Amino acid sequence: MGIAEFFQHLMNGLTLGGIYALIALGYTMVYGILKFINFAHGDILMAGAYVGLFVFDGLRGDAPLGTWTLIAFFLAMLISMGFSAVLGMTIERVAYKPLRGANRLAPLLSAIGVSFILSNSAAWAFGTHSRKFNYPFDNTPVHIGEVVITPHQILILSVSLIMMIILKLFVDKTRMGKAMRATSLDQGTAMLMGINVNRVISMTFAIGSALAAVGGILIALDFKVYATMGTMTGLKAFVAAVVGGIGNISGAMFGGILLGLLETFGVAIFGIPTGLKDTIAFGVLILILLIKPEGLFGKVEKEKV
């Protein structure tokens, strides 16, 4: 593999990993506080992508590519984030909150049920065919030496990096972020200290769902929008969260980037057929569970007796 080819695969892997990282953050934030996996997260991504598509098409109209299409795109992204945040909070309030004191299997089954409801509702409302999300800019590739970079890749890297930095600062520096960390450590003690745990949990779902919407729109520009688009992407983002150490925000970011790089270089170096690319993620998951079950950045939790 030459240097130019290496940097080409590196760029492709980083853009793919940036999307995985954004989506993985939703899984890891919910698990960090409630200790369960929100398997409806990928379908919230799908719902956000549909909203972004319809809003963007409505705002853009017949306008040619230019300043207005870029403004329309980012407005559509913001509206999609808001919609997904409300959807995530509603799902938590209706399907998860009543089951907090139940067996840990109950909310997991509820999440799977919500996932099927969302995907089937989208298929019924919008059909099973895919819809194209038009680029808001000219996506003509830029050549840097022998390396080819598209404006879409630059957009993914920029948006992903900005979102992850904002989330990190929010969790580390704000009162709500500190409340989230306290609730993650011990909900009972957090309540005794005057923290509104219900509000913290709702905010966690809102943030995770909003990030999923961003990931969904970024994916849709390449792979179109359809009712089951969040299934495989959501599962691989979940793998990224587990690899990094589920419940650890920095771990989810690292796990997403790592998984994107492994998928890209796995196909390039080992000649894995593109159709089998998805098996890399689940192979990595099995390997991590065997070697370091708590993930690369996770901590072993000692069960209190």
80 is a domain residue: yes
220 is a domain residue: yes
Range of the domain at 43: 15-128+137-230
Total of domains in the chain: 1
DSSP, residue by residue, 235-276: HHHHHHHHHH-TT-HHHHHHHHHHHHHHHHHHHHHH---GGG
153 is a domain residue: yes
105 is a domain residue: yes
298 is a domain residue: no
Which amino acid is residue 93, in one-letter code? R
Which amino acid is residue 229, in one-letter code? M
Of all helices (H) and strands (E), which one includes residue 192? helix 187-192
Cβ atoms of 48 and 234 closer than 8 Å: no
* Per-residue pLDDT tens digits of the chain, which is 305 residues long: 678 888 888 998 999 999 999 999 989 998 888 888 888 999 999 999 999 999 999 998 888 888 899 999 999 999 999 999 999 999 999 999 988 878 878 888 999 999 999 999 999 999 888 999 989 988 888 888 888 899 999 999 999 999 999 999 999 999 999 999 999 888 888 888 889 999 999 999 999 999 999 999 999 988 889 999 988 889 999 999 999 988 888 899 999 999 999 888 888 777 777 677 778 888 888 888 888 888 888 776 655 54
* Non-local CB neighbours of 288 within 8 Å, separated by 6+ positions: 242, 243, 295, 296
> Which two three-digit tokens encode residue 87?
């959807």
HSE on the CB side for 74, CA within 13 Å? 9
CB atoms within 10 A of CB 4: 13
Cβ atoms of 233 and 49 closer than 8 Å: no
149 is a domain residue: yes
On the 0-12 / 13-18 / 19+ scale of CB atoms within 10 A, 50 is buried
Query: Can you state the angle between helices 175-185 and 197-223, rounded to 10 degrees?
Result: 100
Angle at 164 between CA 293 and CA 48, to 5 degrees: 95
198 is a domain residue: yes
